[in-house]
Copies of this chain bind each other. A is one copy, B any other.
């Protein structure tokens, strides 16, 4: 059984701010710095989605990356691209929009729909900038 890990890269451009309503403005600025700018800022997010599987004899594919591309388009790009992460995104309602919380939320959007195709979501990487990124493996 030869597992291979296959990755599709995607991108989305979004606005957000880091803010905790339980704190006053001074505390928010102290903790989040310029990320708490009330009028928002934004990023070109880059996402890498990795699935694990044994290549099919018929196709040589773990998963047709065309299908994975469509799933990412439907579940990630459609709700997040050119959106405000704090306001516009149903699955981020009431959540902090840090890279850490966002990557967990994206995992939860993708995990089951990929499993329905008989594949296993293995790893997500999410770049917020060229200097900052997060990795998630489902919480283990």
Hey, which bits of chain A sit against chain B, CB under 8 A? Answer: 1-11, 13-16, 18, 20, 22, 31-35, 37, 39-44, 50, 55, 58-62, 64-66, 81-84, 87-88, 95-101, 103-104, 129-137, 139-140
State the number of copies, please.
Answer: 6
Specify which of B44, B66, B97 is in contact with A44 (CB 8 Å cutoff).
B44
Pick from B37, B40, B88, B139: contact of A1, CB under 8 Å: B139
Interface centre among A31, A60, A84 (most CB of B within 10 A): A60
Judged by DSSP, the binding face of A is mixed
The minimal Cβ–Cβ distance linking A27 to chain B, given in whole angstroms, is: 10
Q: Are B39 and A83 in contact (CB under 8 A)?
A: yes
**Contact status of A31 and B64, CB under 8 A, knowing A9-B130, A42-B15, A43-B13:** yes
Task: List 9 contacting pairs A-B, 8 Å CB cutoff, sorted by A.
Answer: A4-B135, A5-B134, A6-B99, A6-B132, A7-B134, A15-B41, A15-B42, A18-B59, A55-B98
Interface contact B33-A66, CB-CB below 8 Å:
yes
Query: Contact partner of A139 among B3, B10, B33, B64, CB < 8 A?
Result: B3
Contacts A18-B60, A60-B98, A61-B98 known; list 9 others, CB within 8 Å: A2-B136, A7-B133, A7-B135, A10-B131, A11-B129, A15-B40, A20-B58, A44-B129, A59-B98
